[in-house]
């Protein structure tokens, strides 16, 4: 009981920051797990090699072997059947009546996680239960406690059970690089706090439980680690412009369960207004095989068109393997600030004697940043101002790299560039 009360100070001061000790007030948000963390602290501190997986709270002080909670704490559902939907049984009750029962629900999940991590570490040949509770993060039992405490630090003020679950998952990502991710999801999902679970709205207890887990904890799953874009034919400003040939190298990781064989990039499509004129996939290893947690690379050459000023090019990369079909969303930076031009060839027309002739040039043109846009017959052009002697000079570029360019003006000396 002393540990339980002491832990209220720990959970209240860690949640929402050290200057706000009212973030777990059940009167502020009804779905409060406040009592659950205190029960878990008591279970953790008093656990020994012989106490086992089924425990009670307050048996000694209450003179009742069943303790003072609705059910004993146990991963055995025959002993403790609680799940997330039991929250709704407290609907309409005052926080003073419901808070301990709600805490029992959440502590049940934490106690399940505690033993799941102990069992996992032992299965890996590592230390499961550590009787030295001062060795933070050493042994499965201390790892579980560390995740709970770090979860308290990361969760928002007035957290729902779902918020607290997500904060523990974030703690695992930050400290253990998602080593226990699927284990944590499995534990929470078994008690109804799965991937699609919905918390209570304000001022009412009404949750939606779910027993599903994320796709990457069901089987193999791809995650984009990083990408590198190298423009191999263009103006050298490291941004992707229309018509420039670029190489996109993707680093992808198998973050799911099981290996991936014969992994290929099946399709690359644009999800923005720009279009992919052409692309070619280069597998850096043939065939690409990824074990759990392994990172591999796939390289793609591409040419884009119809890029908009300052707007990113968003691509959807669809992958296939013998075990899965999945996609990764990639957002690339395009040229937003460059004003330099790359002239492959130069052409000039002198209209100084008057006239408004049309000049047709066949070719592919570069898209560059410019503050001025205009159109001729609803065809977009870029205009770059310049000065040559006493004449006013303008350069016009068609904003589409795959069609022809038309130049029209009067009493001006013009020049244009094309590939």
How far, in whole angstroms, is CA 389 from its chain's centroid?
A: 56
Report d(CA 51, CA 379) in Å as an integer.
79
Report d(CA 21, CA 15) in Å as an integer.
8
Q: Which of 5, 97, 124, 173 is catalytic?
A: 5
Classify each residue of 38-72 as buried b or exposed e, where b means 16 or more C-beta atoms within 10 Å of its C-beta: bbbbbbbeebeeeeebebbbbeeeeeeeebebebb
The sign of the torsion formed by the CA atoms of 237, 273, 313, 230 equals negative
Please report where in the chains the tokens 């034919």 appear, as a residue.
233
Report d(CA 184, CA 212) in Å as an integer.
12
Beta bridge partners of 55: 73
Beta bridge partners of 210: 193
Please report how the helices 140-154 and 95-123 are oriented relative to each other, as an axis angle in degrees rounded to 10.
140
In the sheet that holds 245-254, the strands lie side by side as 222-233, 245-254, 295-305, 275-283
294: its two tokens: 């392994």
CA distances to 23, 230, 243, 313 from 333, rounded to whole Å, are 40, 11, 15, 6
Residue 5 falls in the annotated catalytic set: yes
| DSSP per-residue letters across 189-250 | HHTTB-TT-B-PPTTS---B-B----GGGTS--EEEEEEEEEEEES-SSSSB-TT-EEEEEE
Query: 106 in helix, strand or coil?
Result: helix
Contact (Cβ atoms closer than 8 angstroms) between residue 411 and residue 351: yes
Residues marked as catalytic: 5
């Amino acid at each position: 009981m002393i540990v339980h009360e002491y832990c209220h100070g720990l959970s209240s001061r860690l949640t929402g920051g050290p200057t706000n000790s009212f973030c777990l007030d059940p009167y502020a948000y009804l779905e409060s797990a406040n009592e659950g963390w205190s029960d878990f602290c008591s279970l953790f501190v008093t656990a020994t090699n012989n106490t086992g997986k089924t425990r009670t709270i307050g048996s000694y002080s209450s003179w009742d072997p069943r303790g003072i909670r609705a059910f004993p704490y146990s991963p055995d559902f025959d002993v403790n059947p609680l799940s997330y939907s039991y929250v709704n049984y407290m609907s309409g009750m005052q926080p003073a009546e419901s808070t301990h029962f709600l805490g029992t629900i959440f502590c049940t999940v934490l106690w399940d996680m505690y033993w799941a991590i102990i069992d996992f570490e032992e299965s890996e040949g590592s230390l499961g239960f550590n009787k030295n509770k001062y060795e933070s993060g050493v042994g499965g039992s201390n790892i579980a406690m560390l995740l709970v405490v770090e979860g308290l630090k990361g969760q928002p003020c007035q957290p729902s059970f779902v918020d607290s679950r997500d904060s523990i998952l974030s703690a695992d990502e930050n400290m253990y690089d998602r080593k226990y991710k699927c284990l944590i999801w499995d534990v929470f999902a078994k008690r109804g706090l799965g991937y699609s679970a919905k918390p209570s709205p304000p001022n009412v207890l009404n949750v939606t439980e779910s027993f599903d887990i994320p796709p990457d904890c069901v089987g193999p799953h791809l995650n984009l680690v990083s990408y590198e874009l190298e423009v191999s034919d263009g103006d050298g400003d490291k941004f992707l412009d229309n018509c420039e040939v670029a190489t996109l190298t993707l680093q992808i990781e198998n973050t799911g369960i099981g290996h991936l064989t014969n992994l290929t990039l099946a399709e690359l499509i644009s999800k923005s207004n720009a279009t992919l004129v052409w692309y070619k996939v280069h597998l850096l290893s043939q065939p690409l095989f990824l074990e759990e947690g392994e990172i591999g690379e796939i390289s793609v050459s591409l040419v884009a068109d119809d890029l908009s000023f300052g707007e990113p090019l968003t691509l959807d990369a669809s992958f296939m393997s013998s075990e899965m079909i999945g996609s990764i969303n990639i957002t690339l930076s395009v040229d937003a600030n460059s004003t330099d031009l790359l002239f492959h060839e130069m052409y000039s027309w002198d209209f100084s004697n008057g006239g408004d002739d049309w000049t047709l040039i066949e070719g592919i043109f570069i898209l560059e940043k410019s503050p001025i846009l205009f159109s001729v017959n609803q065809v977009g052009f870029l205009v770059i101002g310049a000065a040559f002697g006493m004449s006013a000079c303008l350069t016009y570029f068609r904003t589409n790299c795959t069609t022809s360019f038309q130049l029209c003006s009067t009493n001006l000396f013009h020049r244009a560039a094309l590939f």
